[in-house]
Structure 1
Amino acid sequence: MRVGWVLLSLLLAAGCGEARSHAVPSPSSKSHHAFRVGGQFDAEVFGSRLAARQRGWPGPRMPVAPPPRKIDCRQLKCVALTFDDGPGDQTGHVLDVLAAHHARATFFMLGEMVTDNTRDIVRRMVSEGHELGNHSWGHPSLVGLSEAALRRELERTQDVVQQATGVRMRVMRPPYGSTNHEVEAMAKQQGLAQIMWDLDTLDWRDRNAGLVAKRSGEAKPGDIVLMHDIHPTTVEALPRLLDELDRKKFTYVTVPELLGGVTPGKQYHNK
């Protein structure tokens, strides 16, 4: 905590050179909560903003997530739509379609895909209430990796997303669904629950929007649906599958909302 307040003092001092019309908040104000992640002061996020200010510009605004929703999936027909392997060129279109249907989803992202070109998309996910998930750095099978390599795959992705958004992810999906005791232990170390799926749309294999929409429309209450936000055919299918699920009166929730919370390391399918 001492490190955090030292950094806070430095930032406030740096702000003294700005125009007088920009009031600098005191440490006792509510502004210091902007540097908390999961209720804890995050010196890394704070430090990156301080460095940006010292370079002469304020840096990116960290997104603000909507307040948590009170959703009882024991009473509602809930479905958790999930998207793997992004963010990519199609992800913005996916977010547009989800927004049109007031739908929230979970995005399991590759760390190597979080770049200067996609950071704004990831921030948008947070601001629109979607859940961010860790899908490793480069999509290897995690089973069989050395402990050090396994840690790098998860930790680097945790770090790059946190630097972009201020969010420390709490769910992960092992590539190919491949996991074992070592993956479970490392996921637990990183504070990540393992999320599998119940309905695979096979959009990665069958680049056919009609098939993807048909398979997704067969979702049952409580299902976790697997899709990929990197395929144009999935984006094409999304309005149709959402129309079908709307007709069936589904509520679109994030994975933690569906499950009522998650435990690091634990493996989850349908509730």
Structure 2
Amino acid sequence: MRIGSVLLALLVLAGCGQVRASDPDAAAQAPMPEAMRQARAARFDPGVLRLRLVGAQPGWPGPRLPVAPPPRRIDCTHARCVALTFDDGPGENTGRLLDILAAHHARATFFLLGQMVTKETQGFVRRMVAEGHEVGNHSWDHASLTGLSGEALARELERTQAVVRQVAGVRMRLMRPPYGATDHKVEEATRREGLSQIMWALDTLDWRDRNAGIVAGRCGAAKPGDIVLMHDIHPTTVEAVPRLLDELDRKGYTYVTVSELLGSPVPGKQYFNR
């Protein structure tokens, strides 16, 4: 008798549970758990949604990929634009350089060596993207591309494209041939890879003269529309950046990425300035 009463009570409770679950009025009146409420609110937050989608990379083991800020509208036909570019990184000085550029609200373009993108430096690449800088391909290991076979040349570009895509989630559209060495073979390879060849109008020679004052002085001679060549692997170059930014500020310059300067550069084509 007692066992039968217990079974009957369990059946009644189960039935009530089913009624409550299927009753829309009762469901609406039931308090929503806090975790569920926050999840629903986040679902309609564009910023949270964007971060979630970007981070949901199959097989991605590390931090979520960065989201670049919206494109800027800068008319370099009227503004005094200059594109500061830095080669051969990322390296141990890159973080300090990014701090200086951030404090000055200046954007730049970084031409990266694939072999330099390591566990220790990949955070700098993500930060470049997140802070609105542009990243470009500078080959895998700084080989002179004109002396390579077609297969080796393609590998230099493709490996660097792949590692930057993996750590930062972006496909690079620009490249700078090491030593500025290019020919028809390099032109064809970059065209196939969808990369424009970016040279320079002003070489600060910071690789030769490791003197911050000299480097800043040379950069201060930039003209509107110039692409300026520097290297963030040299501490003296990073030391020169605050001075050269102050000098270019006095001349009313706007610091833009190469793509902002050029508009829509054509794959394979060489560019020295605007």
Please, what TM-score do these two structures have when normalized by structure 2? 0.81
Structure 2 counterpart of 1:200, one-letter code:
D
Q: 1:156 aligns with which of 156, 159, 166?
A: 159
Cα offset, 1:34, TM superposition: 3.6
**Are residue 112 (structure 1) and residue 123 (structure 2) matched?**
no
Which of 58, 63, 66 is matched with 1:47 structurally? 58
Q: Which residue identity lines up with residue 58 of structure 2 in the other structure?
A: G
State the Cα RMSD in Å: 2.2
Deviation of the 1:32 alpha carbon: 9.9
Q: Distance in 2 between matches of 1:179 and 1:164?
A: 28
Distance 2:273 2:116 in 1: 28
SS at match of 1:244: helix
Q: Distance in 2 between matches of 1:199 and 1:222?
A: 11
Flag the 1:33–1:170 CA change in 2: closer, same or farther, 3 A: farther
1:253 to 253, 256, 261: 256
Letter in 1 for 2:242: P
Q: What residue number does 2:126 align with?
A: 123
Tell me, in whole angstroms, the C-alpha distance in 1 between the residues paired with 2:138 and 2:130.
20
Q: 2:242 corresponds to which residue?
A: 239
**Does the 8 Å contact 2:107/2:256 carry over to 1?**
yes
Task: After the TM superposition, list the runs of 4 or more consecutive aligned residues in structure 1 that deviate by more than 2 angstroms.
Answer: 19-25, 30-36, 45-49
Structure 2 residue runs without a partner (length 5+): 1-34, 44-48
Equivalent residue of 1:46, what SS?
A: coil
Aligned to 1:42: none
Q: 1:32 to 1:215 in 2, by over 3 A?
A: closer
The structure having more radius of gyration, on CA atoms, is 2
Instruction: Please report how far the alpha carbon of residue 48 of structure 1 lies from its aligned counterpart in structure 2 after TM superposition.
Output: 2.9
**Higher-helix-fraction structure:** 2
Match of 2:181 in 1: 178
Q: Which residue of 2 aligns with 1:205?
A: 208
Instruction: Tell me the CA shift for residue 110 of structure 1.
Output: 0.1
Question: Equivalent residues in 2 for 1:7-46 (5 A)?
Answer: 34=53, 46=57
Q: How far apart in 2 are the matches of 1:262 and 1:136?
A: 19
Is the CA contact 2:54–2:67 (under 8 Å) kept in the aligned structure 1? no
Asked whether the equivalents of residues 82 and 254 of structure 2 are also in contact (C-alpha less than 8 Å), the reply is: yes
Partner of 1:135: 138
State yes or no: 1:69 paired with 2:80. Answer: no
- Distance across 1 between alignment mates of 2:242 and 2:114: 27
Paired residue secondary structure (2:200): coil
State TM-score, norm by structure 1. 0.82
2:130 & 2:54 partners in 1: Cα distance? 16
2:51 & 2:211 partners in 1: Cα distance?
A: 49
Q: Distance in 2 between matches of 1:184 and 1:79?
A: 25
Per-residue displacement from partner, 1:111-170 (whole Å, max 9, x unpaired)? 000000011110000010000000000001000201110011000000000000000000
